[in-house]
Chain A
Amino acid sequence: MLARVANNLFWMGRYIERSEHVARYLCVNYFSSLDAPNEFSQSRQFVLKSMLFMVGDPHKTEEELYDADVLYNIGLNPDKSYSIINCVKLARENANSARDIISTELYEAINKFYHFVLNYSVDDYVKKGLYDFTTNVMEFTAILKAKIRTTLLYDEVYSIIKLGINLDRATQVIRIINSKYNDILLIRNQDNTGMGSSLEWSTLLKCVESYDMMNRFQKKIPNSINTLDFLILNSNCPRSVINSLHEVTEHIQVLSSEKKPKKDSTIFLVHKIYNEYKYKYIEEIEVDFQTFIDKILNDLVAISKKMEKEYFNY
């Protein structure tokens, strides 16, 4: 496979995954705040700030935020690099330059997704279409991932896309956890309720589409320890960070023909990072959560950069 095309497919996978997580965060966070238990967590400013924090554009001033502006910026503003419309455009652009090697079915699904987002009325979206728009985005991404799984040969093309998907999934899940953790800290500072009510942890689980899985697994009210443990370290949870890292180790293997990886190779780095987190326990992480967040985000960036150097250098 061409190095340039591999790079494009990797990023196609990343942008597909990213658009899903951003859409879900918007949807779950916005609607759960409408009947949140206290005035602070119910306030528009609180929820809008949380959304901006998650996409990496934290609101740093005291200026009032407006629903329509924030929703537009995150959903359909083509000038914001983090917006869903931009993610979808970039996913399609990357697919375009690799359309000869992805399946017709996958390309057509991406194209439909692109036309759906591109033609969505901004006015409808900010006034009444948030649920419709975000759930459609989530459904489109589910279709795309099904097309990836069922219409591509399980070879290096498939693995490159899956590497993109899983690295971005781990990144987005960490960002969502970080964002909600930050929200919970803010709420705690307001009402001194300890590490947040179960509702905030439930919202976090829903933001990562893992609430039902957690219910089945724990059969306990979500709290900081069991929720973070589940979302970061539970290898049976398909959304967990450790699961995504495991997938990365599996797919990077497909790109390498060497039995014993060299010390400076991507495969070596991936295994090293995966094994480090595999043997962590949640109490260890919770002691200094912010350091953990920074470190794991840096680790994920390091893998991406290493891949770029080793495979996408053209």
Chain B
Amino acid sequence: MKSCKDHPIFSSYSGQQNKLDEVFDKNQKVKPVYQTLFDIYGAHSTNDFSILNEKAKTSFFNQGITFQVYGNNQTKEKIFPFDLFPRIIDSKEWEHIEKGVLQRSQALNHFLWDLYHDKKIIKQGIIPEVLINSSANFLKKMEGFNPPGGVYNHISGTDLIKHSDGKYYVLEDNIRCPSGVSYVICNRTALKRALFGVFDKYQIHSVTNYSQNLLEIIETVKPKGVDNPTSVVLTPGVFNSAYYEHSYLAKGMGVELVEGRDLFVEKDFVYMKTINGPRRVDIIYKRIDDAFIDPKAFRKDSVLGVPGLFRAYLKGNVCLVNAPGTGVADDKAVYTYMPEIIKYYLDEEPILNNVHTYHCSRPDDLKFVLENIHNLVIKPVDEAGGYGISIGNKLTTQEINKVKEVIKESPRKYIAQPIMSLSVHATYIEGEGSFEPRHVDLRTYTLLGKDKNFTLKGGLTRVALQKGNLIVNSSQGGGSKDTWVLKK
């Protein structure tokens, strides 16, 4: 690779007032932990880097890490944009994050058990009953049921941001079907292929051990009486945008990737259809929303699910991962009670901060929200993927009025938070041929099993590629970066 001092790729990088830049300090000086990386990357001309960027994209295409875009009677394959400049998290900071996300996952598991059993937290007035009763994701059919190993949220994806005060804040806990972990590993692979020389300058944790840990964890919650459980991953099929991830995880665990049509239930046991006849299935890591898993128990029009599956689960003959009904706890309105939930079940102070949240269901909060929309982010409580979010300072007066009407129609459906200043990170912008600061967040992955847990040392750094955009979700045009957790 040749260097081109006339056109260094960081030459047009400009600092952002009032925003925390993870790579540069306030004086535009590179932070010590990034200095080596900066020197290596800075030695490339824009042309060199553009070629590397293309190579990385080709690597994604060749690996088949793509999703389909439909339109104009044509389907097109696209890759999720990947940025070649990694994010570094030092070991001390990571230790704090890891303890914090594990604490939240454990607290949420206790919370779910309580909600589906004694409801002590409601009886003691810590969580308002109406919050749970009005949640579309509370699954009455799960009341009184003991999931294998007592675990509901085997897999949790926690979304964090680093605020301008330098502290991490949790934006969301995703405990239904958190996705994206395969990109953590693919990003690492793509970066290794494109810029292998950078890896021997840093001591970083591996991220390739996720699948093995996942299998080990889910096998701790096998049904009673099963010695060697048969686990499968249940996917909606090849046309699902996360299909790559489903196949990646099945392959990584060495288990079958099944669709609903591959399974059937007989006498409350679940079987898969193999070339040698039926074979019993004991653990299902489902990547299908609860509503679709069983047309007999939930949505009758579901063609993705397995008739009788939920009944087999309630009989204890198969374990579903994550448990049905976990959605009630990753409701954004419940999120606001996380500090109380942690204190109540674990008798600990929350390690990670919550963003202050206004419940539109509370009259005082609603009044404040309606009067201050321009300074707030409005989020629907039960959506994922960045859908339905309104960022107050980006809205026109007309749009603000429209949002107000929508909130007033169903206040329970919305929460509001101050517009948090997500940190920015140096990101290669293809159209500009140079690095520019862009907002980033971090999704971590925590696994809970019976007496076992695991947090992936790394995570998915998602980056909002449009200038000034705060929404990092891939469905909203976001990209991602490799995330390096430094060893001690």
Q: Indicate whether A311 reaches chain B with its CB closer than 8 angstroms.
A: yes
A111 touches B63 (CB 8 A): yes
B64 touches A111 (CB 8 A): yes
Which chain A positions have C-beta within 8 A of B62? Answer: 108, 111-112, 115
B273 touches A3 (CB 8 A): yes
Q: A93 vs B237: C-alpha distance in the bound complex, in angstroms? A: 12
Q: A222 vs B261: C-alpha distance in the bound complex, in angstroms? A: 53
Which chain B positions have C-beta within 8 A of A99? Answer: 64, 247, 251
Q: Which of A100, A160, A312, A314 is the one whose CB lies under 8 Å from B250?
A: A100
Q: Which of A93, A101, A313 is the one whose CB lies under 8 Å from B251?
A: A101
Q: A104 vs B246: C-alpha distance in the bound complex, in angstroms? A: 14
Q: Indicate whether B306 reaches chain A with its CB closer than 8 angstroms.
A: no
Q: Which of B63, B243, B261 is the one whose CB lies under 8 Å from A4?
A: B261
Q: Which of A104, A112, A156 is the one whose CB lies under 8 Å from B275?
A: A156
Nearest first, the 6 closest Cβ-Cβ pairs linking A and B are A100-B250, A100-B257, A100-B251, A100-B247, A311-B275, A99-B247
Interface string of B243-263 (1 = CB under 8 A from A): 100111011000011110110
Question: In whole Å, how far is A262's beta carbon from the nearest beta carbon of chain B?
Answer: 14
Q: Which residues from 436 to 478 on chain B have a C-beta closer than 8 Å to any C-beta of chain A? A: none
For A109, the closest partner residue in chain B by CB is B62
Q: A35 vs B324: C-alpha distance in the bound complex, in angstroms? A: 71
Interface of B is mostly: mixed
Which chain B positions have C-beta within 8 A of A101? Answer: 251, 256-257
B64 touches A108 (CB 8 A): yes
Which chain A positions have C-beta within 8 A of B251? Answer: 99-101, 104
Q: Indicate whether B276 reaches chain A with its CB closer than 8 angstroms.
A: yes
Q: Indicate whether A2 reaches chain B with its CB closer than 8 angstroms.
A: yes
Q: A112 vs B462: C-alpha distance in the bound complex, in angstroms? A: 27
For B276, the closest partner residue in chain A by CB is A257
Q: A2 vs B275: C-alpha distance in the bound complex, in angstroms? A: 6
Interface centre among A2, A6, A97, A312 (most CB of B within 10 A): A2
Question: In whole Å, how far is A79's beta carbon from the nearest beta carbon of chain B?
Answer: 13
A2-B256, A4-B259 are known contacts. Are A255 and B64 too (CB-CB below 8 A)? no
A2 touches B64 (CB 8 A): no
Q: Indicate whether B238 reaches chain A with its CB closer than 8 angstroms.
A: yes
Q: A96 vs B273: C-alpha distance in the bound complex, in angstroms? A: 19
Question: In whole Å, how far is B237's beta carbon from the nearest beta carbon of chain A?
Answer: 8
Q: Which of A97, A160, A255, A314 is the one whose CB lies under 8 Å from B273?
A: A314
**Other 16 A-B pairs with CB < 8 A, given A4-B259, A100-B257:** A1-B275, A3-B262, A3-B275, A4-B273, A6-B275, A96-B247, A100-B246, A100-B256, A101-B251, A104-B63, A111-B63, A115-B61, A160-B275, A255-B276, A311-B275, A314-B273
A93 touches B64 (CB 8 A): no
A111-B62, A115-B61, A314-B261 are known contacts. Are A97 and B275 too (CB-CB below 8 A)? no
A107 touches B275 (CB 8 A): no
Q: Indicate whether B320 reaches chain A with its CB closer than 8 angstroms.
A: no
Q: Which of B61, B247, B274 is the one whose CB lies under 8 Å from A2?
A: B274
Question: In whole Å, how far is A163's beta carbon from the nearest beta carbon of chain B?
Answer: 11
Question: In whole Å, how far is A65's beta carbon from the nearest beta carbon of chain B?
Answer: 29
Q: A313 vs B24: C-alpha distance in the bound complex, in angstroms? A: 60
B238 touches A2 (CB 8 A): no
Q: Indicate whether B272 reaches chain A with its CB closer than 8 angstroms.
A: yes
Would you list 24 pairs from A and B whose C-beta atoms are within 8 A, ordered by A residue?
A2-B256, A2-B274, A2-B275, A3-B273, A3-B274, A3-B275, A4-B262, A96-B64, A96-B238, A97-B238, A99-B247, A99-B251, A100-B250, A100-B256, A104-B63, A108-B64, A111-B63, A111-B64, A112-B62, A115-B61, A156-B275, A160-B275, A313-B273, A314-B262
